[in-house]
Every structure is written in C-alpha cells, then in structure tokens.
Amino acid sequence: MAVYSMTGYASIQLQPDDTTGKGGAARLGLELRSVNSRFLDLSLRLADELRAHEAMVRSMVGAALQRGKVEVRAFVDLGEQGALQLPASDALQRLASVQAGVRAWLPEAAALSVADALRLGGQVGAARQDWAKPLQQALAQALDALKQARAAEGERLAAMLLGRVQQLRALARRAEPMVPELVRQQRERFLERWEQAMQLSAASATPQAVQERALAEATAYAMRIDVAEEITRLDSHLDEIARLIEGGGEIGKRLDFLIQELHREANTLGSKSASMELTRISVDMKVLIEQMREQVQNIE
C-alpha cells in the first residue's frame, strides 16, 4: 500500500446530458483541497442546486479519506439555461392570480418585483436538472485524482523519512563505542586521583584497596553514562518506522507516537552524555527527529 499525504488538490469539470428540455450546456465544476488535520474535517461549499445532495457528498468523502481538513467546492454553470428569459405567459398569469389571492387576504403585502417574476415565473412548470448522478460521477473522479495527488506527495515524504532513519542509525553507531572508551578513561583518572590522595595522606591503605575503590567508582560512573539501552530502544523504534513506511496505509498516528518515543530516547542520551561528542550526537539526533515530526504531521 502507498503512503498518503494529507495535502492535495483536484479539480473536475463535467457537462451532464441536458434533461431540462431547454437546450444549452450546463456545466458542473468540483474542486477538492486537502491539508493536514488530526481527524477528517470536512467543509462543503455547494451551489444552491446541489445542497440537497450534501449527505451523499459527506458519505463519499468519508468513505474515501480518513484524515485531513478537506474543502469541497461545487458550482453549477447553467450556460444558456441561466440566461434571463421572459417567463411563459401562462406562468405569468398564474403568478398574477396567486398575487391577487394573497393581497385579497393581505392588502399590505408588497407586489411582486420584476426580479421576483423572473425567478418564480421560470420555476413554474419548468423541469429541473437532476444533479445527483452528475455530482456523484464528478465527485468520484475528483476523489480519485485527490488520492493520486496525496499518494505522490506521500511517496516523497516516505523517501525523506527513510533517509532520516538511515541518518539516525549512523549517529547511533557512532555513539555506541564511545561509552566503553569514556569508562576506561574515567577509571584511569580515578586510579590516579586515589594514588595521589594516598601519597599525600600517607595512609596505610594497600594498593589493592585503592584499586578496588577506583574500580567501584568507575563501575558506578559507567552505570550513570551507559546509553546502550537507549540506543537499543532507538534502533527498535527506527525498525518499526521503516516497517510502517514500507507497509503503507493509514500510518500517520502510529508514526507520530514513534517520533515522540525517538525524541524521548535522544533526550535521555543527551542527559547521560559525558563528552562533547556524545552531546553533539544527541543534538544532531533531535534535529533529525524534529524534521521527521514536522513531515509526519502531513501523513494520513
């Protein structure tokens, strides 16, 4: 399965068959815009002729997309059908009759304006375009195009994330041999300090006792700075991230959780740092993890 970004755009224009009997070329336009969001956040901007089909639009978008802030904009261009035309005489007669009846009961009611006569007279006895099937067809095409756009962007994000995974692995490999060397150096420093202290105090402690105390101090120090467990967990999280990306699908939320875990391990590694080089590695890790976190926010 592909990795899908939540960012995408699609536009479809469809000219359905004329069912009004009036002639002219009506046209249906549909635009889909999508950006990242924690959940599916759907915003509809439908023309008046299409508002009756809002439930169908919501159902189709919800079935096709799982996450993202999605804006659906649908409009209708009636072409020649939308041009101003004088209503038929029988329609005007019926409007006049209705107006007379209303004003007989409500003498203060306002008379119909020219705009009212054009709008209402055009509706009387007129067959209306059925937009259900054209809208369903256009929306299906637009959703396919949007998913293709989101898949293309998702492929780019997946490649970037896998690249960052490899960089983090390389930093972890650099950090691994540093701890034993730091422990060895610290043990030597402990031995030198204890020997100097014993000489200055002229104490009766044996060299064996001095060495054992130094080794105990070195062992305690090694436990404080040991980052092997953090590196092991970091490797495990990186393996899982790579597995999710290669598997594809709806992985955004799981990736977001793993990024938090990576950041926690990098922070712990930095807090245990006993050298400038290990500190630099921790900082470099956190920079890479932050870059990953920003991009993971866009993955479905």
Chain segment 134-177, per-residue pLDDT in tens? 999 999 999 999 999 999 999 999 999 999 999 999 999 888 77
Q: Which residue positions in the chain have pLDDT lower than 50?
A: 18-23, 82, 124-127
pLDDT score of 126: 43
Closest CA to 129 of 60, 55, 76: 76
pLDDT, residue 290, reads 95
Rounded CA gap, 153 and 35, in Å? 12
pLDDT at 125: 44
State residue 283's pLDDT score. 92
CA pair distance 96, 286, nearest whole angstrom: 77
Q: What is the pTM of this model?
A: 0.69
- Helix intervals (H) in the chain: 54-64, 89-105, 114-123, 132-175, 178-201, 207-225, 228-247, 252-271, 276-296
pLDDT attached to residue 268: 83
Residue 112 has which token pair?
Answer: 């119909």
pLDDT in the model for residue 18 = 47
CA dist., res. 91 & res. 4, Å (int) = 54
Amino acid at 63: A
